[in-house]
């Protein structure tokens, strides 16, 4: 009986091991010198940064087929999930990345991935946690360029523009990876610092690449404080004081109050309604009754709005024709264009300038970034000595 018992135990162990190996993931053999977990993860991260999430996942999975415990591939997959809004799935994958991280390189990679995850997910105290991950990343790789770059992006997301700029400077000084991207971000942070957005809305719009009509309405109302500006200089506007709903409805039906049919559900509805009451040329309701809040602002359009504000504040209607017939200093701006006079008004006063300093082109139909929009408002305030 003892003999059979020992035999049964041996067979059980063999069966258990066979089952274990059968359930273990099959390791794929590399087919070329570049078919490595490191190379696939590097390629996956490039696809991730390009927003090509399916291709990124494909590369991370190829890495895990070669090494089922490759930490960096788990961390990369976690970031894909985070950027697609699956923060729970991302956290689970990042835990695997942490568990399987053996080398300093893998651990530093994990900590940087955590900075990026926290910036995307924004859980409670996310910025403080990101700062801790940043310090941990530097302990593993003191010359990491990724750590200060993504910590800078975290500060930027939190509207800590000065701290963000300091991080981007560190990246530039390392003269390695992310140098070009960091230089671009640093210049943006410098521009925003000069623009000094005072409201949360202003800080949000400062990061926008191309501002819309609604964005500009918000900047005029919350940063320029155009309603207070007009009141100070005695500019007549629509009466925006409170009236009861019935009187308001009646006034609007009679055309006494401006309105638009396409702003009811817009997050900046109040700013748009406020700017309509100010009557700024270029930010009015269209003949079809719409404001078109999501249409982009052009540089020429912005110039015409500023001209209108300056003309009203200075009570100088002659400003609208001051430069008619004058030669154009810009190679891309004819003096017979309807916005030529406005462009000349804002550029001769230093409120706006040529967009391309090498060619001297004004680029009238170009877009306006949030940071540039804010800087222009600061220039208006300096002109008016506010």
pLDDT of residue 259: 76
- Sign of the alpha-carbon dihedral angle for 52, 135, 181, 298: positive
Residue 179 has φ and ψ, to the nearest 5°, of -60, -45
With contact defined as beta carbons under 8 Å apart, do 109 and 71 qualify?
Answer: yes
Q: How far apart are CA 168 and CA 351, in angstroms?
A: 28
CB neighbourhood size of 326 (10 A): 12
pLDDT of residue 257: 55
pLDDT of residue 92: 97
From the number of C-beta atoms within 10 Å of its C-beta (0-12, 13-18, 19+), residue 209 rates as exposed
Mean pLDDT split into 10-residue runs, the chain, 386 residues: 55 51 65 91 97 97 96 98 97 97 97 98 98 98 97 98 98 96 97 94 96 98 96 75 43 60 94 95 94 98 97 94 96 96 97 93 97 96 86
With contact defined as beta carbons under 8 Å apart, do 107 and 146 qualify?
Answer: no
- Sign of the alpha-carbon dihedral angle for 278, 283, 289, 290: negative
> Cα angle vertex 355, ends 214, 378, to 5°?
55
Reduced to 3 states (helix: H, G, I; strand: E, B; else coil), residue 150 is helix
Domain ranges of the chain: 37-144, 202-383
pLDDT of residue 27: 82
- Which overall architecture, per CATH, does domain 37-144 show? Alpha Horseshoe (1.25)
With contact defined as beta carbons under 8 Å apart, do 214 and 221 qualify?
Answer: no
pLDDT of residue 357: 85
pLDDT of residue 138: 98
pLDDT of residue 222: 96
With contact defined as beta carbons under 8 Å apart, do 291 and 285 qualify?
Answer: yes
Q: How far apart are CA 259 and CA 256, in angstroms?
A: 10
């Amino acid at each position: 009986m003892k003999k059979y018992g020992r035999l049964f135990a041996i067979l059980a162990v063999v069966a258990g091991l066979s089952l274990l190996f059968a359930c273990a993931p099959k390791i794929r053999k590399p087919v070329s010198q570049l078919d490595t977990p490191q190379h696939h993860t590097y390629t996956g991260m490039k696809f991730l940064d390009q927003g090509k999430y399916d291709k990124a996942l494909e590369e991370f999975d190829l890495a895990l087929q070669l090494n089922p415990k490759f930490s960096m591939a788990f961390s990369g997959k976690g970031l894909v999930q985070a950027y697609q809004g699956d923060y729970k799935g991302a956290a689970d994958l990042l835990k695997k990345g942490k568990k399987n991280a053996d080398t300093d390189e893998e651990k530093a990679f994990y900590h940087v991935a955590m900075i990026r995850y926290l910036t995307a997910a924004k859980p409670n105290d996310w910025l403080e946690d990101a700062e801790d991950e940043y310090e941990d990343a530097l302990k593993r790789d003191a010359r990491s360029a990724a750590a200060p770059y993504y910590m800078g992006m975290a500060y930027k997301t939190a509207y800590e523009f000065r701290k963000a700029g300091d991080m981007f400077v560190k990246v530039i000084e390392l003269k390695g990876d992310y140098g070009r991207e960091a230089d671009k971000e640093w210049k943006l942070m410098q521009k925003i610092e000069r623009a000094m957005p005072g409201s949360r809305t202003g800080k949000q719009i400062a990061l926008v690449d191309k501002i819309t009509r609604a964005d500009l309405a918000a900047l005029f109302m919350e940063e320029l404080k155009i309603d207070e500006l007009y009141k100070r200089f005695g500019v007549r506007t629509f009466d925006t004081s409170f009236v009861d709903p019935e009187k308001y409805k009646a006034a609007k039906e009679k055309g006494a109050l401006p309105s638009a049919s396409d702003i009811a559900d817009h997050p900046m509805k109040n700013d748009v309604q406020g700017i309509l009451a100010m009557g700024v040329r270029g930010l009015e309701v269209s003949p079809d009754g719409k404001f078109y809040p999501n249409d982009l602002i052009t540089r020429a359009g912005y110039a015409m709005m500023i001209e209108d504000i300056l003309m009203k504040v200075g009570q100088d209607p002659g400003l609208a024709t001051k430069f008619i017939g004058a030669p154009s200093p810009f190679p891309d701006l004819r003096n017979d264009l309807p916005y030529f006079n406005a462009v000349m008004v804002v550029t001769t006063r230093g409120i706006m300038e040529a967009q391309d300093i090498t060619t001297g082109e004004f680029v009238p139909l170009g877009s306006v970034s949030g940071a540039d929009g804010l800087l222009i408002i600061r220039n208006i305030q300096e002109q008016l000595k506010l």
